[in-house]
Amino acid sequence: MEGLVEDAIAAALEAELGPDKRLAARLTAGSLVAALATVERTAEARMQEGDGALPPAEVEHLLDLAVAFVTAGIAVVSDRQER
């Protein structure tokens, strides 16, 4: 399932960025899917430990971190492609 989501995100990014940015689109999509999976595993672990569901503010914080991680990756890839 994650592979299908990653493919869909990569295709959308490539359509937006252009075919010359295929690698950047794939890397970004893969990073985003991995970051979201980490957020999911973190929430699951907390529930299994008996601490209950993550509060909405914590979920939002984790998602913000995931987006920041991916955004930083995009910036690095973009910078290297321009050289």
Query: What is the predicted pLDDT for the residue at 6?
Result: 93
Residue 11 vs residues 4, 43, 74: alpha-carbon distances, Å: 11, 28, 15
Query: What is the predicted pLDDT for the residue at 5?
Result: 92
Residues of the chain with pLDDT under 50: none
Query: What is the predicted pLDDT for the residue at 79?
Result: 67
Query: What is the predicted pLDDT for the residue at 12?
Result: 92
φ and ψ at residue 48, rounded to 5 degrees: -70, -30
Instruction: Give residues with Cβ within 8 angstroms of 14, minimum separation 6.
Output: 21, 22, 25, 26
The predicted-structure confidence for 17-36, as pLDDT tens digits, reads as follows: 888 888 888 988 998 898 88
The model carries a pTM of: 0.71
